[in-house]
Amino acid sequence: MVSCLTKNRKAVALDMVPCRWLVVTVCCHRDSGDSAAIRLLFTDQQNDGHPGGLTGRPFVHCSKLSAEVARVPEIESNIVTTVDTVSDTHASGTDANLVREVARRRTFAIISHPDAGKTTLTEKLLLYGGAIHQAGSVKARRATRHATSDWMQLEQERGISVTSSVLQFEYEGCQLNLLDTPGHEDFSEDTYRTLVAADSAVMLLDNRKGVEERTRQLFDVCKRRRMPIFTLVNKCDRAGADPLQLIQDVEADLGIICYAATWPIYRDDTFVGVYDRWNGQVNMFERGTDRGASRVATETMDINDPDIIELLGEQAYMRLDADISLLEGAGHAWDNDAFLAGEMTPVFFGSALSNFGVEPFLQEFVQRAPPPGPRMSTKGVVYPTSELFTGFVFKIQANMDAKHRDRVAFVRICSGRYRAGLEVNHVRTRKPMRLSAPQQFLARERVSVEEAWPGDVVGIMDRGTLRIGDTLAENSDLEFSGIPRFPPEHFARAVPLDALRRKQFDTGLRQLTEEGAAQVFYAESIAGPIPIVGAVGQLQFDVMAFRLETEYRAPCRFEPISSRYPRWITGPAAAVEKAVTGRGRMRLYDSKNNSVILFQDAWALKWAIDNEKDVQFHEVAP
């Protein structure tokens, strides 16, 4: 997509295609209020050497640009109305409604270290987006509501997020798809998969701790994908590090350029507002009495208003004026191209708990976050404005409705329009599949919709056909790649505590491991196969035991196994049998009956790789 920013700060999205010339017509408003149509001519020359911007970045180095303004009455503001001439067949006859809907989408995830306030920020974004009327809390009191994104009973009891949630809401004419991710590192696989479905990310920092280990890990994932990143420094209502020092630490630690988009205002060392550098406005907040459950009262004033000193107080004004002068003189200038490439991040300051600074951040986010862009597939680049539907499964969740034992596959739409009854190819199985009515989510709550567009995340009711990473494509066999897979690092025997509930126990193990949080293996024994569960983190065993008991009425315990270096093994049958019987090795079978070896330690694994030349070892299932 090519994005322009008009004077009234409304984003205009233009279709990006691999062609020599592109002529589009967009609508806007003149300062006088009259409607006008503007024709823009783009060429791909000098665009980093990539024809048509195949990198997914805007046409920022266009060598030619012409605009002809002619009055056209009664035209909607800021909407692409026609694509007149395009030399690529992909965009010929592009549906204007499809282009408009793509331009309205913002799909993003929030990344942070545990306890930085991610769930609280998610709740406040929903509050200001109008999706909820009263914000809940992570650890709710008896008389208050829990956070919307923490819908599992375990999440509400422990005050932690253990699964990704999809939250969709409208704000200022844009459709926001917020992908809430678990903060704990034991659920990193779920988080990494969710980031693949996002177009941008919000990095949340604690103002006392700055960049922490978990933040570094998730930032590296975003950086490898050149994902645009917004930064929000949270908990500014508490004593913390100096804002200038925080920005310097982020630049030094993460290697990204920081631009202070807002700046905290303190009066007598109390956080009372923020200065919006882009708008030149001061936003002063009035602390409420409901612990941040409702929107905070705000007074806004231009920084050049003569009454600004009276509003802030002389001391606070002098401090703010000195900080602004320092930022303008020594800070980096805003570079939108560098931001879209993931090389620069706008930094905002606020307090999610008290709602201070949340609304200014959200307003800037919807204007500057990129809409859905092109994605690579096995058949080349797939553009969001392509009329053929494509999408991929990045998450599966069982028992969102415990009464009906449902199974929902979450699909990120990459192109085209999703509608009920659409027939697509299930590329992995090479079989046709008819899609049911799409469902949109607000955590556990769901609603059926008539259609969905690129950038949206929809739920498909599934009976076990779909797997994480599957591609669904209309009239095509293309596949999307990039869904990460990680080998388990911890293993434990799953022992059912009620023999009469063995069937429910086996069903629960199978369905929960299909969600991707853990893998189930089987070891041979005289009494029959013994289930062995492998997980990336220890906390996943606690979650699985809790869910087996509460959702399947099949209590169990997990007995840890000391071996923790898994390798799938392939090769001639005789060589495989020889390799699995070595010292310090434990043979398992996965769900497809492939042989897996658990090694006692890293030395045993290295010895086997160096000496077992007739077989091949794989870190993940081949």
pLDDT band per the 50, 70, 90 thresholds, residue 228: very high
CA angle at 143 for the pair 140 and 145, rounded to the nearest 5°: 45
Strand partners, 521: 532
104-368, what's its fold?
A: Rossmann fold (3.40.50)
Pairing, β 174-180 against β 105-112: parallel
CATH dotted code for 490-618: 3.30.70.3280
CA angle at 425 for the pair 423 and 427, rounded to the nearest 5°: 160
pLDDT of residue 51: 31
pTM score, whole prediction:
0.76
How far are the Cα atoms of 1, 16, 191, 519, 543 from residue 538, in angstroms, in the given order?
42, 45, 16, 13, 9
**The token pair that represents 354 in the structure block:** 């008290």
pLDDT band per the 50, 70, 90 thresholds, residue 539: confident
Give the position of tokens 């009239």. 475
The yes-or-no verdict on residue 389 having pLDDT over 80 is yes
pLDDT of residue 306: 87
Judge whether 232 and 243 are in contact, CB under 8 Å: no
- CB count, 10 Å around CB of 365? 22
Q: How many residues are there in the chain?
A: 622
Mean pLDDT of the residues in the chain:
78
pLDDT of residue 157: 54
CA–CA gap between residue 274 and residue 349 (Å, rounded): 7
CA–CA gap between residue 147 and residue 292 (Å, rounded): 13
pLDDT of residue 88: 35
386-473, what's its fold?
A: Elongation Factor Tu (Ef-tu); domain 3 (2.40.30)
pLDDT band per the 50, 70, 90 thresholds, residue 98: very high
What burial class does residue 239 get, using C-beta atoms within 10 Å of its C-beta: 0-12 exposed, 13-18 middle, 19+ buried?
exposed
Coil, strand or helix at 585: strand
Question: Model confidence over 100-156: pLDDT tens digits?
Answer: 999 999 999 999 888 888 888 988 888 888 776 555 444 444 434 445 544 455 555
Q: Domain segments of the chain: what residues?
A: 2-94, 104-368, 386-473, 490-618
Query: Quick one: what percent of the chain has pLDDT higher than 90?
Result: 41
Q: What is the DSSP letter of 356?
A: B
- What is the average per-residue pLDDT within 540-552? 88
The yes-or-no verdict on residue 24 having pLDDT over 70 is no
Q: What is the DSSP letter of 593?
A: -
Coil, strand or helix at 469: coil
pLDDT of residue 163: 57
Question: Model confidence over 482-511: pLDDT tens digits?
Answer: 777 778 889 999 999 998 999 999 998 988
Query: Nearest CA to 428 among 491, 502, 378?
Result: 378
Task: Report the phi/psi class of residue 593: left, alpha or beta, with left for phi > 0 and alpha for psi in -120 to 50.
Answer: left
Encoded amino acid at 275, one letter: Y
CA–CA gap between residue 62 and residue 2 (Å, rounded): 11
- What is the average per-residue pLDDT within 211-224? 89
Highest mean pLDDT among 128-132, 162-166, 562-566: 562-566
Question: Model confidence over 300-317: pLDDT tens digits?
Answer: 899 988 888 888 888 889
pLDDT band per the 50, 70, 90 thresholds, residue 276: very high
